[in-house]
Amino acid sequence: MDRPRVSRILSDGQPGEPVEISGWVRTRRDSKDGFSFVELNDGSCMANLQLVIDSSVPGYAETIKNVTTGSSIKITGEIKESPGKKQRVEVHASTLELIGTADVESYPLQKKRHSFEFLREIAHLRPRTNTFGAIARVRNAASAAIHNFFQERGFLYVHTPVITTSDCEGAGEMFQVTTLLHDDKPPKSLDYTEDFFGKRASLTVSGQLEAEIYATSVGECYTFGPTFRAENSNTTRHLAEFWMIEPEMPFYELPQNMQLAEDFVRSVIKMVLEKCPDDMQFFNDRIDKTVLETLKNITENEFLRVSYTDAIEILEQSGKKWEYPVSWGQDLQSEHERFLTEQHFKQPIILFDYPRTIKPFYMRCNDDNKTVRAMDVLVPRIGEIIGGSQREERYDVLLDRMKEQDLNPDEYWWYLELRKFGSVPHSGFGLGFERLILLLTGMQNIRDVIPFPRTPKNAEF
């Protein structure tokens, strides 16, 4: 039988129903008339369950003083209509069991507002707060929505490896995986043929190349897994370990890829709004008053398609002073992306056809020889949330691009072979899951939307 949860009692518990419930105490208030009110939370929903514990309950006198904030208890009792305005029902206890105490002096989560910085230091307790409980539920709903979206469309979920010997972005921002280093064997010059995998290995920065293998065999597919980047950028939008969703579709060219990305973002937002109305209301009330409005703007507006070249012109003519100067051929920075989506267009946009010199080797070259079929989806408050492209399916062009970017074609022999045997146009994109959660919750810092963030100098918990 399912363990009874607070969410169930609050949503459809009926007066007169007997219940047993366990959870963690948020607050206790003793009335002068010989009973106590306890606010119980078990993480199943935002709201607490109000318990009324009368002094006639067995053991009340000895136990109740230890029913403090953070302690865990179990009660049996009966659901009653609540006379209070804050809740429909409450539970009147007939038994009370203290399961785990929480010392009042040392329990860090006393009933006051704590800063997110402080809460990061107690990541083992922060999911007990309203904010982090809500984030956990929204992450869960968003994951389910993502799987739903693709499953309904017949995409296969493919599990791509975490350990890899190829560097997809050619960026070198990779964490190395090795068994060559031991305390008793100082690293002089590492001989990778002696290493565990017989060559230099790393944690993956993207599952795309492997997803392409499956897309060009079994059809539309997607990955959803952990991704690692050793970028030493201490920003509020970058993690060293994050989750990425990477769909890959055969026979899709850039326009279909853009359409899928647009449908995907809108549909996932809608599903989360439907699944977590209370949590979303909480984010709007307490975290950022514009969250729901921003999400509405995204679900109700078509995403505008704007070429990189047009975007540069808009930025140059904006009269703005940029921290990073704008010119054709330079990558866009977050300040430029946010200006375009938040101030200029005031809606989500998809930029496409970027200069080939700033984009990876696998993006399909356009006939102008200057641009590639890349696309970035930009949304208000975040900037880039999705990066994608049509992939280069022509063997010779791909080979040239690898050489152009100083990559060793031998290491990508299998990727090249896909262009030799039944090559087809195909496309895909990557969505950073935590960027999506930032967008959904209105939280400011990406460290606060993943349970245990990994960032430079920080991998506690």
Please report, as ranges, the residues that interact with ligand ATP according to CB under 6 A: 169, 229, 231, 237-239, 242, 244, 384-387, 430-432, 434-435
Measured from the CB atom, the residue of 155 and 228 that comes closer to ligand ATP is 228
Pairing of strands 18-31, 156-157: unpaired
Residue type (1 letter), 417: E
Q: At closest approach, how far in Å is the CB of 224 from ligand ATP? A: 12
Q: At closest approach, how far in Å is the CB of 379 from ligand ATP? A: 10
Measured from the CB atom, the residue of 238 and 419 that comes closer to ligand ATP is 238
For helices 291-300 and 433-441, the axis angle rounded to 10 degrees is 120
Q: At closest approach, how far in Å is the CB of 324 from ligand ATP? A: 12
Q: At closest approach, how far in Å is the CB of 348 from ligand ATP? A: 13
Name every residue whose Cβ is closer than 8 Å to that of residue 45 and which is 6 or more positions away in sequence.
6, 7, 10, 137, 278
Instruction: Give the residue carrying structure tokens 């994608």.
Output: 388
For residue 286, the 8-state DSSP code is: I
Dist. CA 401–CA 50, nearest whole Å: 64
Q: At closest approach, how far in Å is the CB of 229 from ligand ATP? A: 5
Name every residue whose Cβ is closer than 8 Å to that of residue 311 and which is 6 or more positions away in sequence.
332, 336, 340, 351
For the chain, first and last CA: distance in Å?
33
Cα distances (angstroms) measured from residue 430 to each of 239, 299, 343, 347, 364:
15, 20, 25, 20, 16
Residue type (1 letter), 447: R
Secondary element (H or E) of residue 100: strand 89-100
Measured from the CB atom, the residue of 231 and 335 that comes closer to ligand ATP is 231
Measured from the CB atom, the residue of 126 and 229 that comes closer to ligand ATP is 229
Q: At closest approach, how far in Å is the CB of 461 from ligand ATP? A: 18
Q: At closest approach, how far in Å is the CB of 382 from ligand ATP? A: 8
